[in-house]
Amino acid sequence: MSTESLRFQYSPWFQCALGVLILVLIGLTGCQTTSHSSATAAGQLTFVQKKMGPVTQLQRVSPTGESGPVLVSERWRDLQPHWSPQGTLVFMSNRHGRDQIHLDKDRERLQIFLLEPGNAEPELISDTDDSAVSPRFSPSGEAVAYIHARPGNAALEVVELNARGATPVTQARDILDYAWAPDGRALAVVVFDPGRSRLEFVAAPGERDPELPYLQPEERGSVITGVSWSPDGSAVAYIVNSPDRARRLYQYDLKTGQRRRLSNPEHHVQNPVQWSADGDALLYAALVDFDFHYDETQREQVYEGSMQIFLSDRSGNARQLTQGEGRHGAPVFSPDGRRIGFLFAETLDARTLSVRTMDLEGREVRELHQRVAPESLLQWN
């Protein structure tokens, strides 16, 4: 299955390749508004805008549709933005002082950049021979973790911003995902070695070992592909690709060791999963009634089903928030928890998405921006 034609996660092999390389919109704002004043919320949504060819730009839009670039990009591929509580931005890019980007994305070398408030140009904080991807701030904003994607020997590295040196915290053939503990003292890391998928809990630099056992899938042949740590630190949510091709969401209680499946067993849950601020609910997207086949007459893959957004409590009682055909993905809570932002397209294999918001009942849908890159996620802060 080509990652160019299908940007959502489905098979274990597709997710492994995407996790290692890349978790991997100057357009006009749209309208689909309601007259309700509650359709607005505080903060801004940050995403990746699609520009000419492979060029992408970091963009933000307010809940009322006012949009502007975070950092102008005329020839670079700026991806995976993440904000610290202090307003510092970290992202990955192929900026290296070269005159142009590689049209062959498999040949480019991506690195991690930091943009301090008030600065016009970003600072390189990684300098690896291979790509560095998936940057995320620690909860305090004082450190940045990223995946050093060495082929066959990936490492999760942490840069403490007061020192700028990178410290490896774990290594494996592939590192597919990770999440900071809410206190910043540990990280949950999804690693994959031949024939062995597991979730590791490792200490942040200078911290004591969390002394939590590895977590492996219960079913032989399954692969863990995503993880998210609860705000109170008591549990992690994680996604498992099963041999029957479904992608299921589970919760693991770190105190009792109890596992609980949260999603419909027939659905294909997508990464990332977001916890509510109080830790009582989880927000995620999943493929529903999904299948695909090759159409000989059209000479292309045909994808069936839809991607929908769900809100689940910690007992697995899930409610579907979106309806209809198309792709509803990458959902995030608004800062006040009363609305969600998500990316929408009319087809599953769309090459351009739009930013939308709605309330927790699936009403008051508002389209804020178009020309969103298919590899984009959202952050609302």
pLDDT tens, position by position, 235-247 = 999 999 998 889 9
Question: In this structure, what token pair is assigned to residue 268?
Answer: 């294909």
- Asked if 202 and 181 touch (Cβ cutoff 8 Å), the reply is no
pLDDT, residue 262, reads: 98
pLDDT, residue 10, reads: 42
pLDDT, residue 105, reads: 52
pLDDT, residue 156, reads: 98
pLDDT, residue 176, reads: 97
pLDDT, residue 23, reads: 33
Q: CA 148, CA 50: separation in Å to the nearest integer?
A: 25
Confidence (pTM):
0.87
List C-alpha distances in Å: 123 to 93, 126, 156, 168, 367: 11, 9, 20, 21, 33
pLDDT, residue 79, reads: 97
pLDDT, residue 294, reads: 75
pLDDT, residue 41, reads: 65
List C-alpha distances in Å: 238 to 126, 184, 216, 230: 28, 19, 11, 11
Residues of the chain scoring pLDDT < 70? 1-41, 97-107
pLDDT, residue 125, reads: 95
pLDDT, residue 374, reads: 95
Strand partners, 364: none
Strand partners, 145: 136, 158
pLDDT, residue 104, reads: 52
User: Which domains are seen in the chain, by residue range?
Assistant: 12-380 (2.120.10.30)
